[in-house]
A and B are shown apart, each in its own frame.
Chain A
């Protein structure tokens, strides 16, 4: 928690990732007078508008022109400003990939990108608004730091911490209805340092974003089956915490990665690279969206369909350990 920062998260309407980041950004405006918030007609959806209300002179809505927006951000950063750019993940990482890569990352410019509606969190909107490729794209850009916070509290911490980094940072968050994982923002958050949410010796679930909550829920079910699952919140995809991964490989020998992203190129791939390069052997499974364009539906249904919700994780653990997971099939004792 950065010194001097204080925001109340006791209100229900501030429990979402977007709400908190909007609030945090508005407060950071007092600390960093050179922040310029930029959006492409999504001030309300992405909550960056909260900053705009407080600092109207430092707020730019470029209209529906994402490529221009990132080019402008690069120019502003060159001029000593601290641009914070917010749009949906699909537009930030796919439509504007060239501007982010060449205008921003190539020059290691101090631009912070907060991408909302990442993964399949905007499930109903279909493939044009799904974004299951952003982690793969962004982590392949040199100089880019890539973060997928677990919830609103962590998003707040990530935004604060991102300001201390001299260079581009990509923070991807959901649609805004993701339940919290943490009860408070006061915990030891450091970019690049994974957080062990719970310890276990039987298997390790390495997760980011909404995968963290699902993993925590799965671990509770597994506990009832006598299994102790370690849960690691790998909020920073790049630079990735190799020590946490290798420690888990050594101590649990079984790794499952969980992400709201394609299983190709995201957290699962990043973790796999670390394990393979270490020469250590372990049972390994990636959970996320397979190599398909995701179907359309409510995100919670899609998480279940692609088996990276708590049920899917439990099922995968059962298959990996070749054990029967006991179901609650008592439907008779209705209250």
Chain B
């Protein structure tokens, strides 16, 4: 049985942290414009393990990479996986020692701005600006499709059973007419998340949102899909049964990433 904490940590490292790159490329809060020229590496890790991910700022760009960097500028060590998960799910993080390199103000500044950007994912954060709303939709789409893949790769038994019996299928999310898109590909137990539209074959299930606002209602405000469908915010093309199962796995991910109850 997959350990829920470790599975959540996998999603944090591989599905949420890559959103830093999305925020950076969108120049959220002008972080790139203001601090783009400062290179360096910020490491997130779990103390005493080789589990972690790092942000590598280089030549004005950002890559989010898995593992441990040999020579990071800033290190944020966590006591355990749950302690790291808490930072990203609204809980109280548990550090495994004092962070290293906090005097590197420019890098820390970048990180703080990007962490603020991640707050866009929170259900109670409702930006009014269209660009921010689109960014929120894009981030949620990327996060969901990737997290579904991590659920499978991380050993969630139900997900593995579900993906194991499927042929090559694409579960596509997209915003009409030409907004953000993301997909999950499944084939015989293997999964892969991708951005944009999968071009090699047609979607098996396609969740088509009616513009950014339609997507925002469903993804940002958690409007239920039944109401969203009847209101025209979303069109579901393809197998309703498989879409329903995928929806239940999405709910499972949402539950894993909810802040701990007080």
Contact = CB atoms under 8 A, between A and B. Distances in A.
B16 to A, nearest CB: 13
Contact of A13 (B204, B206, B229): B229
A333 B200 CA distance: 15
A311 B167 contact: yes
B221 to A, nearest CB: 19
B6 interface: no
Contacts of A13: 229-230
Interface string B179-205: 000100000001111110000111010
B234 interface: yes
Contact of A310 (B202, B235, B237, B241): B202
A26 interface: no
A310 B242 CA distance: 18
A244 interface: no
B240 A177 contact: yes
Contacts of B60: none
A103 interface: no
Interface string A322-335: 00000010110111
A35 interface: no
B239 interface: yes
Interface stretch (A62-70, A217-225, A275-283, A286-294): A217-225
Interface in A159-209: 177, 179-180
A298 B229 contact: no
Interface of A: 11-13, 15, 177, 179-180, 217, 220-221, 224, 298-300, 304, 310-311, 328, 330-331, 333-335
30 contacts: A11-B232, A12-B234, A12-B235, A13-B229, A13-B230, A177-B238, A179-B206, A179-B238, A217-B201, A224-B200, A298-B241, A298-B242, A300-B204, A300-B242, A311-B168, A328-B200, A330-B192, A333-B192, A334-B146, A334-B149, A334-B192, A334-B193, A334-B194, A335-B142, A335-B145, A335-B146, A335-B182, A335-B193, A335-B194, A335-B195
Interface of B: 14, 18, 142, 145-146, 149, 167-168, 182, 190-195, 200-202, 204, 206, 229-230, 232, 234-242
